């Protein structure tokens, strides 16, 4: 079941429901729009308990989406902790950048079916890096590369403990 209500246009643009400012009947005004919500959303609206994370324009939604398929140890608590923001530009390429850094974007290479690196490849790679090179690589590495690095590092630690 869906419920039809009317909210101010300014709230609709912000994807916001204001528990103090909505109508269940047509207010007959050009400053209001009709929206359809679920019964749960209606109950939250009545209770005045619309969560910030439920708003599409909020940072909470972005953080929730980032954390969605990640291990709890890799979760972030705020938008500022997100490592990169990914954007698709007019040239149909995907770019990434750090939060609030509009000048330094880099193109993200799409998968072309090339062979993926293995733990052995990563082990060889990391044993030949010095501290400065590692930091530069880590700052630019993607999530998959970092996970592969962590596995390779654990494997090296295990080998050292076994010796």
Number of domains in the chain: 3
User: Which three-class secondary structure state does DSSP give residue 118?
Assistant: coil
CA distance to 86, 101, 114, per residue, from 82 (Å): 11, 13, 28
- pLDDT at residue 120 greater than cutoff 50: yes
The average pLDDT across 136-148 equals 80
pLDDT, position 116: 59
Distance from C-alpha of 82 to C-alpha of 110, rounded to nearest angstrom:
21
Q: Tokens 């308990």 correspond to what residue?
A: 49
Q: Is residue 113 part of a domain?
A: no
Structure tokens at 51: 């969560």
Instruction: List residues bridging with 87 in a β-sheet.
Output: 95
Query: Is residue 100 situated within a structural domain?
Result: yes
Residues 149 and 129 occupy one common structural domain: yes
Global pTM reads: 0.31
Per-residue pLDDT of 45-98, as tens digits, reads: 777 654 444 455 556 777 777 787 788 888 887 777 777 777 877 887 888 888
How high is the mean pLDDT of the chain?
A: 77
pLDDT of residue 110: 62
In a domain, 112, yes or no: no
Q: What value does the mean pLDDT take over residues 25-50?
A: 79
85 backbone dihedrals φ, ψ, rounded to 5°: -110, 130
pLDDT of residue 43: 81
Give domain status of residue 134, yes or no. Answer: yes
| Helix boundaries (H) for 1-142 | 9-13, 39-47, 59-67, 119-127, 131-140
Judge if 102 and 69 occupy the same domain: yes
Residues 67 and 99 both lie in one domain: yes
Please give the residue range of the domain that contains residue 65.
59-107
């Amino acid at each position: 079941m869906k419920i039809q209500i009317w909210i101010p246009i300014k709230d609709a643009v912000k994807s916001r429901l204001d528990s103090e400012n909505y109508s269940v009947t047509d207010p007959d005004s050009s400053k209001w729009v009709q929206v359809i919500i679920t019964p749960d959303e209606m109950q939250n609206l009545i209770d005045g308990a619309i969560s910030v994370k439920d708003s599409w324009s909020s940072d909470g939604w972005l953080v929730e989406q980032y954390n969605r398929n990640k291990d709890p140890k890799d979760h972030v608590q705020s938008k500022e902790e997100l490592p990169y923001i990914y954007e698709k530009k007019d040239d149909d390429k995907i770019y990434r950048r750090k939060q609030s850094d509009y000048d330094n974007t880099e193109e993200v290479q799409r998968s072309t079916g090339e062979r993926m690196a293995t733990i052995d490849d990563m082990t060889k790679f990391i044993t030949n890096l010095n501290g400065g090179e590692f930091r530069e690589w880590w700052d630019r590495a993607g999530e998959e590369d970092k996970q592969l690095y962590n596995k390779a590092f654990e494997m090296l630690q295990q080998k050292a403990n076994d010796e």
